[in-house]
């Protein structure tokens, strides 16, 4: 029975993860309907159904209740603002419940091998999608004219380069935690470093500056936690040198000019130069700044929200000059508030806080606990990068995996303790 249950959860979890990544490409290349769009309501109904027939531990319910509340508020927003597109967005957003629940049951009791396999497959898919475009010139997903291969925008299985960069950086944090951090097995560490390096190339070429900074910080923080006292001092010196190099224009310009000679790096280098030398001319930064400014200028309490991608009414008093902000506010926290209301935002923030407190009180190593806090802070910054994050549940997946691992560790410890008492 245990094997059958494991296979059941494993099958649907793998189907959900793989379909989420490759479905946009299958739709573009083979002109097929979006498989992930069709499956999202199925995943949601299946998950809710299992709540009534599957025995859950108390600690599992303690976290799952947050996701159930989030989904309740999300669907409540559709009462006054229903449309098919909004319904699809809510179903995609609800995928986080499926991800957490099915991963929790599939990984059960300290199965770190399964977590590593999930991370490896997801990372490999992203790397292969990226390489298919950059080496073979195969356009996997159609975008606007500025997001085509011909414009140097290599986005793999994603609709835009920012989405690819943010998900890649998120996976890098999972790689660091499960493959590298305090890992003694050389083979596992080697695989981790290879995945980390390849995804680093993906992030760099994607030209998302915030994601690249997140990647670098993740890399450096992992090295720091892995090192002894003397080595940590050395790493701090290296970081200082790196910082001096970055802000030294005389040293940096020749390097950037050299890299810009490679056609597939030209777009990335142009965006980095814009950040360093002409930030006031950066439209991307300007659009985001205006959205955040107008959001606070129009501040009002939203109990239910306007539903996904329907935020124009919020900005009536102080309209946006760039209409895209009314559908894609470039911030997960602003978007969840506008779409689903204040209670949804509070519940999600409460989930993050509870997760942090639980991990800190868990049986994990002190370095692992520190890395989890770092990851939560990092992701809370990264979710300001994509235009809309409702359809990017994978961004939060590494946090889920670390939390699930902490839960499994604690459950195993409880079972061992109970067994000793019974003996």
**pLDDT digits over 102-153, tens only?**
999 998 766 789 999 999 999 999 999 999 888 888 788 876 655 676 666 7
Q: Which of 421, 391, 346, 402 is nearest to 66 (CA)?
A: 346
> Given pLDDT bands bounded at 50, 70 and 90, which one contains residue 262?
low
3-state helix, strand, coil split of the chain in percent (to 5) is 75, 0, 25
In a domain? residue 168? yes
> Do 375 and 402 form a contact (C-beta atoms < 8 A)?
yes
> Given pLDDT bands bounded at 50, 70 and 90, which one contains residue 52?
confident
Q: Which of 283, 253, 284 is nearest to 269 (CA)?
A: 253
Per-residue CA distances from 325 to 296, 314, 388, 390 (Å): 14, 11, 10, 14
> Do 348 and 66 form a contact (C-beta atoms < 8 A)?
yes
Return the exposure string of 157-173: e unless at least 16 CB atoms fall within 10 Å of the residue's CB, then b.
Answer: bbbbbbbbbbbbbbbbb
The whole-number pLDDT of residue 149 equals 67
The whole-number pLDDT of residue 268 equals 61
CA angle at residue 82 from 79 to 88, to 5 degrees?
Answer: 115
In angstroms, the CA 137 to CA 131 distance is 9
Q: Which of 27, 86, 118, 66 is nearest to 358 (CA)?
A: 66
Name the least confident of 96-110, 130-144, 166-180, 379-393. Answer: 379-393
The whole-number pLDDT of residue 279 equals 47
The whole-number pLDDT of residue 376 equals 92
What's the whole-number average pLDDT of the chain?
A: 83
In a domain? residue 271? no
The residue whose two tokens read 């689903």 is 340
Asked whether residue 275 carries a pLDDT value surpassing 60, the answer given is no
Name the least confident of 85-89, 114-118, 270-274, 358-362. Answer: 270-274
Return the exposure string of 243-275: e unless at least 16 CB atoms fall within 10 Å of the residue's CB, then b.
Answer: eeeeeeeeebeeebeeebeeeebebbbebbebe
Residue 141: CB partners within 8 Å, gap ≥ 6?
Answer: 24, 25, 28, 155, 156, 157, 158, 159
The whole-number pLDDT of residue 110 equals 63
Q: Which of the 8 DSSP states describes residue 385? A: S
Asked whether residue 169 carries a pLDDT value surpassing 50, the answer given is yes
User: What domain range includes position 173?
Assistant: 2-246+282-422
In a domain? residue 356? yes
> Given pLDDT bands bounded at 50, 70 and 90, which one contains residue 252?
low
Query: Looking at the whole model, is its pTM more than 0.75?
Result: yes
In a domain? residue 269? no
| Dihedral angle computed from the Cα positions of residues 151, 155, 157 and 162, in that order, rounded to the nearest 10 degrees | -130
End-to-end, the C-alpha distance of the chain in Å comes to: 26
Across 16-40, average pLDDT = 85
Asked whether residue 1 carries a pLDDT value surpassing 50, the answer given is no
Two tokens, residue 382: 């990264």
In a domain? residue 254? no
| Higher per-residue pLDDT: 260 or 41 | 41
Q: What is the DSSP string of 168-218?
A: HHHHHHHHIIIIITT---HHHHHHHHHHHHHHHHHHHHHT-HHHHHHHHHH
> Given pLDDT bands bounded at 50, 70 and 90, which one contains residue 423?
very low
The residue whose two tokens read 């199925």 is 42
SS3 label, residue 227: coil
In a domain? residue 202? yes
In angstroms, the CA 336 to CA 344 distance is 7
Asked whether residue 87 carries a pLDDT value surpassing 50, the answer given is yes
The whole-number pLDDT of residue 204 equals 86
In a domain? residue 253? no
Backbone angles phi, psi at 295, to 5 degrees: -60, -45
Total number of domains in the chain: 1
CA angle at residue 16 from 347 to 145, to 5 degrees?
Answer: 90
| Higher per-residue pLDDT: 5 or 231 | 5
In a domain? residue 83? yes
121-125, 275-279, 281-285, 391-395 — which one is most confidently predicted on average? Answer: 121-125
In this predicted model, what pLDDT tens digit does every residue of 329-363 receive, in sequence order? Answer: 888 899 999 999 999 999 999 999 999 999 999 98
Percent of the chain with pLDDT over 90: 39
The whole-number pLDDT of residue 216 equals 86
């Amino acid at each position: 029975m245990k094997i059958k249950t494991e296979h059941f959860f494993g099958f649907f979890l793998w189907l959900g993860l793989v379909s989420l990544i490759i479905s946009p490409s299958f739709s573009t290349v083979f002109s097929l309907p979006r498989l992930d769009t069709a499956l999202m309501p199925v995943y949601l109904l299946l998950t809710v159904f299992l709540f009534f027939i599957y025995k859950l531990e108390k600690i599992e319910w303690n976290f799952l209740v947050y996701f159930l509340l989030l989904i309740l508020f999300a669907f409540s927003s559709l009462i006054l603002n229903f449309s098919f597109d909004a319904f699809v967005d809510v179903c995609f957003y609800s995928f986080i419940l499926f991800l957490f629940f099915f991963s929790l049951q599939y990984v059960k009791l300290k199965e770190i091998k399964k977590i590593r396999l999930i991370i490896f497959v997801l990372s490999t898919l992203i790397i292969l999608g990226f390489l298919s475009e950059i080496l073979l010139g195969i356009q996997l997903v159609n975008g606007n004219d500025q997001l085509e291969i011909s414009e140097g925008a290599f986005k793999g299985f994603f609709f835009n380069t920012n989405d690819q960069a943010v998900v890649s950086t998120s996976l890098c944090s999972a790689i660091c935690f499960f493959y590298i951090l305090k890992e003694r097995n050389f083979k596992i560490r080697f695989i981790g470093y290879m995945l980390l390096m390849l995804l680093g190339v993906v992030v760099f070429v994607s030209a998302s500056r915030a994601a690249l900074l997140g990647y670098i910080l993740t890399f450096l923080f992992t090295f720091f936690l892995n090192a002894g006292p003397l080595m940590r001092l050395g790493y701090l010196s290296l970081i200082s040198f790196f910082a001096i190099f970055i802000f030294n224009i005389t040293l940096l310009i020749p390097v950037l000019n050299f890299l810009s000679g490679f056609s597939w790096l030209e777009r990335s280098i142009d965006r980095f130069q814009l950040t360093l030398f002409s930030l006031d001319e950066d439209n991307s930064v300007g659009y985001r700044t205006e959205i955040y400014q107008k959001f606070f200028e129009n501040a009002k309490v939203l109990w239910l929200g306007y539903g996904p991608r329907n935020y124009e009414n919020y900005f009536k008093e102080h309209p946006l000059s760039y209409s895209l902000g009314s559908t894609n506010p470039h911030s997960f926290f602003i978007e969840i508030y506008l779409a689903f209301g204040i209670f949804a935002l509070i519940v999600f923030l409460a989930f993050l806080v509870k997760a942090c407190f639980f991990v800190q009180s868990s049986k994990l190593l002190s370095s692992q606990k520190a890395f989890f806090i770092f990851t939560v802070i990092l992701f809370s910054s990264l979710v300001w990068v994509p235009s809309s994050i409702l359809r990017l549940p994978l961004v939060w997946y590494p946090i889920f995996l670390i939390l699930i691992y902490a839960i499994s560790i604690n459950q195993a410890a409880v079972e061992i303790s109970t067994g000793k008492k019974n003996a």
